[in-house]
Amino acid sequence: SAVISQKPSRDICQRGTSLTIQCQVDSQVTMMFWYRQQPGQSLTLIATANQGSEATYESGFVIDKFPISRPNLTFSTLTVSNMSPEDSSIYLCSVDGALNTEAFFGQGTRLTVV
């Protein structure tokens, strides 16, 4: 199993500013995933972050808006840039389990943009 810590757990931000979300895992993992969950909706994958390479973004998400860092095998950050109220969501970090078929999720970061 993997234990994932996300910071901050929630934040209220002014539009036009940026917020960086941190994700720390208690073990080394190859791939880390960032999801967005809009209010009352399901999870949507933003990007996949591998250590030592550029993140891979899903359709509808771009690096300029959601830059990701992956400096080592236990840590990643997601930045939500130039925020607008439409960015108000829960952002979740995830990693695969040892068998690559069970995923573990952080508690999420609840972002409100005003």
List interacting residues with another protein (CB under 8 A): 4, 31, 33, 35, 42-45, 48, 92, 94, 96-97, 99-108, 110
Least distance to another protein, CB of residue 6, Å = 8
We find the least distance from the C-beta atom of residue 47 to another protein, in angstroms, to be 9
Helix, strand, or coil (residue 16): coil
Shortest distance, position 48 Cβ to another protein, whole Å: 6
Residue type, 30: T
CA angle 37, 41, 49 (to 5 degrees): 25
Shortest distance, CB of residue 4 to another protein, whole angstroms? 8
Kindly tell me which of 45 and 73 has the beta carbon lying closer to another protein. Answer: 45
Separation of alpha carbons 34 and 23, rounded Å: 9
Q: Which two tokens stand for residue 23?
A: 């994700």
User: How is residue 65 annotated by DSSP?
Assistant: T
Q: Which is nearer to another protein, 11 or 96 (CB)?
A: 96
Q: Which is nearer to another protein, 14 or 60 (CB)?
A: 60
Nearer to another protein, 19 or 23 (CB): 23
Structure tokens at 84: 């607008």
Residue 9 in contact with residue 110, Cβ under 8 Å? yes
